[in-house]
Chain A
Amino acid sequence: MKILLIEDELELATSVLDFLKSEHYLVELASDFPTAYEKAIVYEYDCLIVDINLPGGGTGLDVIRALKKLHPESAVIIISARNGVEDRIVGLDLGADDYLTKPFHLSELNARLKALLRRRHFGGSSDIVFHEIKIKPAERNVYIKENLLDLTPKEYDLLLYFLSNQHHVLRRESIAEHLLGDDADQMDDFNFIYSHIKNLRKKLIDRGCLDYVKAVYGIGYKFTDKK
């Protein structure tokens, strides 16, 4: 998968690059408007991750506008410091598929990117398989060894989030914010995720699934089949 990251803050860009590379994406970086504009129209990417504020005479919105004329099939995720409702609406109107407000969790970006690419490339029909677990995102169903597993919406989201970020340490805040959505910053006590994780684990193990959810003491969890 080829991805173009348009971000002028180099340190932030490096973090995103590192994380996405560990997920085996092919990522290129453009840190100003002219570079971004040129790359966006000359090459073809599966997805563009676009910051709105850019140096060099244009904004991320201008890049998206140009891109959508030439490569309408490319997916676009906007990342912006502006928490404005307006920006979000304009961005989505221009054809962006998703919008993330800075600061965001890299694991959240990763999950959204995966969901987006799945929808774009396989019409959402591609299954996510991890050993005995199979998720059919189109129907929001989970199968363990081909048997349907009954999960609450939050447990489903949790499992999908884990599978999108395999082998990564997921901080509690990141999990909580993923489950709660944009308003997660209203709350500061995330004990509730324990019960969801406990229930999910129990359901998986009851169906004969191995326990892939590893608690990382004091920090969060990791979904992995490695030791």
Chain B
Amino acid sequence: MKLLHQTQRLFFRGVLPVFIAAGIVSFFTLRWVFDHETDEKLLGVQAEIESYVRINDTLPTFFQTVFDRWYAEPMPTGSMTNLKAYTFSDTMLFNKFENEIEPFRQLRFPVKMRGQIWMVSALTSTVEHHDLVLILAVLLVTMFGLLLLVMLWVNRIVSRQVWQPFFETLEKMRRFRLADHALLTLPPSSVEEIQELNTTLENLAYQVRQDYQTVKKFTENASHELQTPLAIIQGKVEILLQNDTLSETQAQQINIIGQSTRRMVRLNQSLLLLSKIENNQFLERKPVALKPLLEKRLVWLEDFIAEKKLELETILVEISLEINPFLAETLMTNLLTNAVKHNIQGGFLRVILNENYLIVENSAALPEASVKDLTARFARGNPHSEGVGLGLAMVVEICEQQGFGLEISFEQGIWRVQLRFRK
């Protein structure tokens, strides 16, 4: 869930119950206030009637409205004792003008007149009050609703502005690549926490990159320094093998030293090349014609293709790409040599090149690792192979650097690498 939605949801969850509760409370408060008002008015009527009766010893002849009425009835004698000063009640009466039953508030109180107790009932209609309360309640809810919407909207705008630097930071971090050389610089923010986050991230990125560079420098230096001892071993192996007095076993063992040395040399050269590619040492780009490059490499591979009796199919279009020439050559070489090396006896090799992509398809034995694993460094489909397992990693690295889309799949014995020139 997005940050903005999260805050809005929380806000909504917090504010809505408060609004509902406030609505209910105000509805009942208003009703109580109006009811109270009605009661007061009725008590006023009671006081007036009582004082009139005290002076005149007879009931006043009030004008009776539709909404306010009163009447008196004589009480049987002897029922004096347990009479209350007044009692309120709600009742429904028929309003003949409006032709409907309406709610009324009734006040009953006893009056002593001409030696007898009369029970006086004073009634007042509450229909208007109830309507009023309802209108007020609806108004209130509408206002609350509007307020809620406005608050949500304001909250949204405020959040967006407040979190803007955060999103910028996020975007920059997403684009951050360890292998890039530019330092990570995040926009300064006036919000303390975000500024702190940015500073922390900048320091972290700097530190990580520093460590990464050290490791890479180390790889490069180590690879470089290894070359001389390897050259010495290789030279000595060759000199030793010229010795006629060696036994066959001795000669073969020395030869194995030579073969292992060669493997180390290859591994070393590949590592050196990989770290050079990662270090962006091949930045220069110029138009490179791909077709001759592929053809040259296929000619170079003809001995291996013939040996495996591969069926070669090529559909090549003359196209030229803006790319580093050395990387282009490395890329083509790795793709094609892989396709031949890992092919099966009597298999096929298909190379398709057009304006948008390069596809290399070949038959292959089922690799013992997944496609994803094979693109990792030192991954080998066959653990007994002599390869150093850096070929595909190099292809991945070059594609990434040149901005090519790369799809690798292995289905039904067909190994397929598709390289899309524009991602």
Complex Cα–Cα for A94 and B335 (A) = 35
Within 8 A of B (CB), among A158-207: 168-169, 171, 173-174, 180-181, 183, 185-189, 191-192, 195-196
In the assembled complex, B242 has its CB within 8 A of some CB on chain A: yes
Tell me whether A192 and B242 are in contact in the complex, defined as CB-CB below 8 angstroms, given that A9-B232, A12-B235 are known contacts.
no
B238 touches A107 (CB 8 A): yes
Chain B residue numbers with a CB within 8 Å of A18 are: 239
A171 touches B241 (CB 8 A): yes
Chain A residue numbers with a CB within 8 Å of B241 are: 169, 171, 219
Stretch of A64-72, A97-105, A113-121 with 4 or more beta carbons under 8 angstroms from chain B: A97-105
Distance from A21 Cβ to chain B, minimum over Cβ atoms (Å): 11
In the assembled complex, B227 has its CB within 8 A of some CB on chain A: yes
Distance from A153 Cβ to chain B, minimum over Cβ atoms (Å): 11
In the assembled complex, A16 has its CB within 8 A of some CB on chain B: yes
B385 touches A105 (CB 8 A): no
Distance from A131 Cβ to chain B, minimum over Cβ atoms (Å): 21
A22 touches B242 (CB 8 A): yes
Binary flags per residue of B232-262, CB closer than 8 Å to A gives 1, else 0 = 1111111101100000100110010011011
Tell me whether A83 and B341 are in contact in the complex, defined as CB-CB below 8 angstroms, given that A15-B236, A103-B234, A189-B386 are known contacts.
no
Interface size on A, residues (CB 8 A): 40
In the assembled complex, B307 has its CB within 8 A of some CB on chain A: yes
Closest 7 CB pairs of A and B: A15-B235, A103-B231, A188-B386, A192-B303, A102-B231, A81-B227, A103-B234
A173 touches B259 (CB 8 A): yes
Complex Cα–Cα for A128 and B231 (A) = 30
In the assembled complex, B304 has its CB within 8 A of some CB on chain A: yes
Binary flags per residue of B160-196, CB closer than 8 Å to A gives 1, else 0 = 0000000000000000000000000000000000000
Chain A residue numbers with a CB within 8 Å of B300 are: 180-181, 183
A192 touches B228 (CB 8 A): no
6 pairs, CB–CB < 8 Å, chain A vs chain B:
A103-B235, A173-B259, A183-B333, A188-B341, A195-B307, A218-B251
In the assembled complex, B354 has its CB within 8 A of some CB on chain A: no
Complex Cα–Cα for A191 and B236 (A) = 25
| A106-B238, A187-B304 given; 5 more Cβ-contact pairs under 8 Å | A11-B235, A85-B326, A180-B300, A186-B334, A218-B248
In the assembled complex, B9 has its CB within 8 A of some CB on chain A: no
Distance from A23 Cβ to chain B, minimum over Cβ atoms (Å): 11
B224 touches A81 (CB 8 A): yes
Tell me whether A9 and B326 are in contact in the complex, defined as CB-CB below 8 angstroms, given that A19-B238, A188-B386, A189-B386 are known contacts.
no
Task: Indicate which residue in B231, B251, B272, B341 contacts A12 across the interface (CB closer than 8 Å).
Answer: B231
Chain B residue numbers with a CB within 8 Å of A174 are: 238
Within 8 A of A (CB), among B248-301: 248, 251-252, 255, 258-259, 261-263, 265-266, 269, 272, 300
CB-nearest residue of chain B to A169: B241
Chain A residue numbers with a CB within 8 Å of B261 are: 103
Chain B residue numbers with a CB within 8 Å of A181 are: 300
Complex Cα–Cα for A107 and B234 (A) = 11
Task: Indicate which residue in A102, A171, A186, A188 contacts B238 across the interface (CB closer than 8 Å).
Answer: A171
Distance from B360 Cβ to chain A, minimum over Cβ atoms (Å): 15
B227 touches A103 (CB 8 A): yes
Distance from A7 Cβ to chain B, minimum over Cβ atoms (Å): 10
Distance from B280 Cβ to chain A, minimum over Cβ atoms (Å): 15
A171 touches B239 (CB 8 A): no
Chain A residue numbers with a CB within 8 Å of B387 are: 188
Chain A residue numbers with a CB within 8 Å of B262 are: 173, 185
Task: Indicate which residue in A154, A189, A218 contacts B252 across the interface (CB closer than 8 Å).
Answer: A218
CB-nearest residue of chain A to B391: A186
Complex Cα–Cα for A102 and B232 (A) = 9
In the assembled complex, B371 has its CB within 8 A of some CB on chain A: no
A216 touches B251 (CB 8 A): yes
Chain B residue numbers with a CB within 8 Å of A103 are: 227, 230-231, 233-235, 261, 265
Chain A residue numbers with a CB within 8 Å of B230 are: 102-103
In the assembled complex, B418 has its CB within 8 A of some CB on chain A: no
Complex Cα–Cα for A79 and B14 (A) = 78
Distance from A218 Cβ to chain B, minimum over Cβ atoms (Å): 5
Complex Cα–Cα for A189 and B258 (A) = 15
In the assembled complex, B306 has its CB within 8 A of some CB on chain A: yes
In the assembled complex, A217 has its CB within 8 A of some CB on chain B: yes
Task: Indicate which residue in B228, B239, B251, B272 contacts A9 across the interface (CB closer than 8 Å).
Answer: B228
Complex Cα–Cα for A104 and B341 (A) = 24
In the assembled complex, B38 has its CB within 8 A of some CB on chain A: no
Chain A residue numbers with a CB within 8 Å of B213 are: none
Within 8 A of B (CB), among A1-34: 9, 11-12, 15-16, 18-19, 22
Distance from B82 Cβ to chain A, minimum over Cβ atoms (Å): 118
In the assembled complex, B199 has its CB within 8 A of some CB on chain A: no
Chain A residue numbers with a CB within 8 Å of B304 are: 187, 189, 192
A192 touches B326 (CB 8 A): no
Complex Cα–Cα for A12 and B239 (A) = 11
In the assembled complex, B337 has its CB within 8 A of some CB on chain A: yes
CB-nearest residue of chain B to A196: B303
Tell me whether A192 and B306 are in contact in the complex, defined as CB-CB below 8 angstroms, given that A11-B236, A18-B239 are known contacts.
yes
Complex Cα–Cα for A171 and B224 (A) = 25
Chain B residue numbers with a CB within 8 Å of A183 are: 300, 333
